[in-house]
Amino acid sequence: MTAPQISIVIVNWNGADCLPACLESVRKQTWTDYESVLIDNASTDGSLATAEKNFPDLKIIRNRENLGFARAANQGIEQGRGEFVFLLNPDVVLEPDYLERLMERALKNETLGALGGKLLRPIKDGITTSMIDSAGLTLLAQKRRPWDRGSDQPDAGQYDDAEDVMGINGAAVLYRRAMLEDVKLDGEYFDVGFFIYFEDVDLALRALLRGWKNFYVPRARARHARGGTGGSRPPGVKVHAAKNRYLVYLKNEPFEAFSKNWIRTLGVELMRLGAYAVREPLSLLGFLAFLRCLPTYCKKRNRIQETANIGADEYLRWYRD
């Protein structure tokens, strides 16, 4: 049996409010050579039963507990058979030609490791918005953090050029399997130590360091509710978000790149830690969790940097003020 060209991987945790619309948008895709793999992280809201009933072609992996996004996504990638893996959040609704637009580009250029389109805010109460959710990922120099280009800006055509970007938001991203195999570390595509948040940034930077390109295709469009699955977020999520932001830079930033901006970086981080202590003590716990990770992640960093195919100047070009 011939393997499908794309394996669509969806990680679900209590996505009853959004999962059906997401799966329906997959069913309407003009690109039909795909399989769909749903990984359920022990949902309790009936979303899995609804998916099983209305979308019988789904291949379903049932986890007995919430394993986090990174580990569940790895399960889906491993189970998929496609040459490409399309990672899709349940809170995303695709336009019918989303996959076709991405594949048009991917099949013409084998150096493209990841591709994604323009994500817009969702239609709410029948009102269509032109507000951008993500036009690819970048690195903010002044805030020392990853960021979605165009986030919360009206879509006025400012991101209508197809181009290389630092990375693609993991809500709706097409990965070339060859890239995933090339950058995986300790058998993991996404770093399971992240659990949730910034795992897509980490993967994007590892791909760039190996010489792959991440490509933005604005004609591929989708609506992203952002946080629309799982209801309210557990307080511990802030711990992971803070921890993982530090891990992203520790693992991937070349020392030569860090050394060019270390004074500004030190100032930014001292201000951030002060803000954590005053306003977000859970985020401060995330910094402490990062410190506990240092021995393990310094070893990971060494292995990533040893196999990098680009230098500090190429890395630094993805920073924006």
Domain boundaries, the chain: 6-224, 236-320
Residue 271's pLDDT is: 86
Residue 124's pLDDT is: 77
Topology (CATH level 3) of domain 6-224: Spore Coat Polysaccharide Biosynthesis Protein SpsA; Chain A (3.90.550)
Contact 150, 134 (CB under 8 A): yes
Q: Which two tokens stand for residue 300?
A: 């990971």
**Amino acid of residue 20:** P
pLDDT tens-digit readout, 184-232: 999 999 999 998 889 999 999 999 999 999 999 999 999 999 764 444 4
Pairing state of beta strands 112-120 and 213-224?
A: parallel
Residue 231's pLDDT is: 43
Phi/psi at 106 (nearest 5 deg)? -60, -40
Element (H, E) at 11: strand 6-12
**Using CA atoms in the order 71, 62, 117, 206, what is the torsion angle rounded to 10 degrees?**
10
Residue 233's pLDDT is: 56
The list of the chain residues with pLDDT below 70 reads 1-2, 227-235
Alpha carbons 227 and 241: distance in angstroms, whole number? 14
Cα 289 versus chain centre, distance: 22
Alpha carbons 219 and 115: distance in angstroms, whole number? 12
Q: Vertex 82, ends 204 and 3: CA angle to 5°?
A: 170
Residue 297's pLDDT is: 97
Alpha carbons 182 and 193: distance in angstroms, whole number? 19
Residue 234's pLDDT is: 63
CA distances from 213 to 141, 163, 172, 205 (A): 21, 10, 17, 10
Predicted model pTM: 0.94
Q: Which two tokens stand for residue 85?
A: 């893996």
